[in-house]
């Protein structure tokens, strides 16, 4: 097994790993049983948490001050069920041409930062959406700019919103 060769310090055996399809991993990450695909079609299940996520790319090391400010925001009440995913890039990624695979984000990015906040019910949705928008505004000096880039396949309705009545533009970031 490749993990045993590359990361022997983890002490993993084949039985520690579970191979699953993309749809199964989606269910697993959302906290659903991987056998229950029907739950993805149910938009009114009271047991399903609502969420809002964002995505940014970091191209230069984030100073300690920037990380401390992000941690402080994660201690706010709205962040009780929040997480910030830091997905590292680098290694051999820059060696792969942008047109070789449909993933143009490899060159120049150190990592992707993807905060997400969850809540139950509809009543307080604006409170949580406002919180994650504030977090993203705070992160502005520490992420890509001109243009600010986001992972294209994350559906974020804040991206591309014009000031003309909510019409959206299609952006390839």
Considering the chain, tell me which residue range(s) the CATH 3.40.462.20 domain(s) occupy. Answer: 49-159
Please state the rounded mean pLDDT for residues 123-131. Answer: 88
Please state the rounded mean pLDDT for residues 53-63. Answer: 92
Q: Which residues form the catalytic set?
A: 154
**What local confidence, expressed as pLDDT, does residue 76 receive?**
92
- The answer to whether 70 and 138 are in contact (CB under 8 A) is yes
- The answer to whether 149 and 110 are in contact (CB under 8 A) is no
Q: Which two tokens stand for residue 107?
A: 């060159």
**What local confidence, expressed as pLDDT, does residue 42 receive?**
73
pTM of the model: 0.69
Say whether pLDDT at 172 is over 50.
no
Most confident residue range from 95-99, 133-137, 161-165 = 133-137
- The answer to whether 121 and 36 are in contact (CB under 8 A) is no
Question: What CATH number should be reported for the domain whose range is 49-159?
Answer: 3.40.462.20
Sign of CA dihedral 156, 159, 160, 164: positive
Q: Could you give the percent of the chain with pLDDT greater than 90?
A: 27
Instruction: Tell me the C-alpha distance between 62 and 53, whole Å.
Output: 20
Average confidence score pLDDT of the chain: 80
Say whether pLDDT at 107 is over 60.
yes
Instruction: Find the distance separating the first CA and the last CA of the chain, reported in whole Å.
Output: 36
């Amino acid at each position: 097994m490749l993990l045993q060769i590359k990361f022997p310090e983890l002490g993993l055996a084949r039985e520690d790993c579970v191979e699953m399809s993309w749809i199964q991993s989606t269910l697993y990450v959302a906290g659903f049983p991987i056998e229950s695909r029907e739950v993805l079609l149910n938009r009114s299940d009271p047991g399903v948490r609502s969420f809002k996520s964002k995505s940014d790319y970091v191209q230069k090391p984030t100073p300690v001050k920037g990380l401390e400010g992000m941690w402080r925001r994660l201690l706010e009440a709205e962040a009780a069920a929040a997480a910030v995913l830091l997905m590292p890039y680098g290694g051999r990624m820059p060696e792969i041409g942008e047109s070789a695979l449909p993933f143009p984000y490899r060159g120049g990015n150190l990592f992707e930062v993807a905060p997400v906040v969850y809540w139950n019910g509809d009543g307080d949705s604006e409170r949580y959406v406002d919180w994650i928008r504030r977090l993203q505004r705070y992160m502005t000096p520490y992420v890509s700019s001109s243009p600010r880039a986001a992972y294209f396949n994350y559906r974020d309705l804040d991206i591309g919103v014009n000031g003309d009545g909510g019409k959206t533009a299609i952006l390839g970031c």
